Homo-oligomer: A and B are copies of this chain.
Amino acid sequence: MLRGQMMQRPLLISDIITYAAEVYGTKEIVTSTVDGQRHRYTYRDALARISKLAHALIALGIKPGDRVATLAWNTYRHFEIYYAVSGIGAVCHTINPRLPVQQIDFIIKHAEDALLLFDEDLAGLIGTLDLAGPHAPRLVCLAGEERLPQAGLGPRAIAYEALLAGHPDGFAWPQFDENTASGLCYTSGTTGAPKGALYSHRSSVFHAMTTIVGRPSEFASDGRILPIVPMFHVNAWSLPYSAPLAGQSLIMPGPKLDGDSLFRLMDEEGVVSTWGVPTVLQGLLNTMARMKRKPNGLAEVVVGGSAASGQLIERFEDDFGVVVRHAWGMTEMSPVGSSGFLGREADHLDRSSRTKLQLSQGKRLFGVEMNIIDDDGAALPKDGAHAGELVVRGNSVIAGYFRNADASAAAFDAAGWFRTGDRARITDDGRLTIVDRVKDLIKSGGEWISSADLEEAAMRFPGVVACAAIAVPDDKWGERPALVVRMEPGVALDVEALRALMARTLAKWQLPDRIIIREALPMTATGKISKKDLRTEIVGGA
């Protein structure tokens, strides 16, 4: 081999914010803050405060490799923490405040966090955590000093604004190996203890670039993007990195993610594109239906986290002229793996054909490789017909879990590809369709039934707000599907009519034996319906 004669510069996260502050210096970060205000400043302003925070972290004794945890909403201060912590070579460890307290305790201890920064409205949660002992993290409340007594925080916590005060607004960002750890995020873990994905500077910068390279149109306008997806959930799908990299302003919603709050913020700030999970977008859609209009300027919704329903896609597009793109990813993939994709070919499709394409998870991003394998680990053809477990490989995919040899050993196939736990089909032109989570599939009489297919069909029935299909043990068939449905308040369910609608797209043996109505469905910390809890409730056992 002959080696090229090119410079070697590390891909570092600090280069993103110094670039944005220089080249897109006047683009904004606008925040609906925890204390109900509207805060706005530019990327240039942000870099000045990120520099102050970098000095402050070093003054607190934070060293390269230390984990610095956050329990925080999408705000400008959380953005500052992302860049200052990674920029000095420490690890930005985002924690989901909606996790059960014992899981948060586990995660903080497992990561050995040196510092924990939290939003003031989470002071109550902080009070319930086990933060005793010599190794407990020091606490910083993301507020001015005057807010600490109100939050019931005495001398235990430092005020963020006091921490920054007096430090210089310039910082010489250190240069180091691009494989240095930059971020840490634990999967919410529907089974077993939470497992940590430890991102590197190389993976994070590369991943941010691939999300732009893969879908330039999403970053093409002189735009304003609102990440509903939280910064505590896999880096808000990279938007805190990709938006400044592509010169897009960021509109941060803070803690209020109900439809009315989102609508008002988008409307007032001229948000062009918003990214979030289906449940929260459904809330926005309900507000839009009530207001009989879309927020001023909204042109695009990117939906991911769990599968979007055809109903959601069609209401956004047909009722309001808002284009929907369906993305798919995992915490272990930084997270984006594939993204909705309709070429010019789709322009002339009728609604149902178009919806069908949009219900697929789109096509892989450059740098993410995908295969499907059978139970023996053998590769299956990408012919749109064969379904198998989806395995992935790429620079933005984990090579193991942080301090967890057992989980790491189980996570990869014999060729070293990451096992997603999703059952999928891939066409020969690269279109990915997630059939179901492997563990959510229902095996009836030797045949697989996709819970996702049942749910997609049921969501089209008027009055159905949410639903989940689960496997119920059956003496004759092994397993049979049951469907749990939540209806709009005051609307009664005509079970036979629902069954008839579902029979239009499903075989008779695929239809649920039982249809159960619930006023509320158990949710996971990341906003998905918890099928594990539903199974426990309906079937019993764990």
Contact = CB atoms under 8 A, between A and B. Distances in A.
Interface stretch (A283-291, A316-324, A394-402): A394-402
A341 B430 CA distance: 34
Contacts of A26: 343, 345, 429
B364 A23 contact: yes
Contacts of A198: 2, 4-6
Contacts of A1: 64-65, 89, 176-177, 180-181
A327 to B, nearest CB: 15
Interface string A172-192: 000011011110000000000
A414 interface: no
Interface residues of A, number: 72
A146 interface: no
B6 A396 contact: yes
Nearest to A19: B366
A199 B3 CA distance: 9
Contact of A397 (B6, B89, B343): B6
B366 A4 contact: no
Contacts of A9: 367, 369, 393-395
9 contacts: A1-B64, A2-B181, A6-B199, A7-B393, A23-B429, A26-B343, A26-B429, A216-B217, A220-B220
Interface in A13-27: 15-16, 19, 22-26
Interface of A: 1-9, 11, 15-16, 19, 22-26, 64-65, 89, 91, 176-177, 179-182, 197-203, 209-210, 212-213, 216-222, 245-247, 341, 343-345, 363-364, 366-367, 369, 393-402, 418, 428-430
A182 B4 contact: yes
A203 B4 contact: yes
A26 B427 CA distance: 14
B4 A181 contact: yes
A212 to B, nearest CB: 5
A213 B216 CA distance: 8
Contact of A398 (B5, B245, B393): B5
Nearest to A403: B5
Number of copies: 2
B91 A401 contact: no
A258 B26 CA distance: 42
Nearest to A9: B395
A115 B76 CA distance: 57
Given A9-B369, A212-B216, A247-B343, 12 more contacts: A1-B65, A1-B180, A2-B181, A4-B199, A5-B197, A5-B398, A6-B397, A7-B395, A15-B367, A23-B363, A23-B429, A213-B246
A44 to B, nearest CB: 8
A213 to B, nearest CB: 5
B341 A6 contact: no
A300 to B, nearest CB: 12
Contacts of A200: 3-6
A402 B91 contact: no
Given A16-B366, A341-B23, A394-B9, A4 B201 contact: yes
A9 B217 CA distance: 26
A245 B212 CA distance: 11
Contacts of A363: 22-23
A8 B367 contact: no
Contacts of A177: 1, 3
Contacts of A210: 209
A366 B24 CA distance: 11
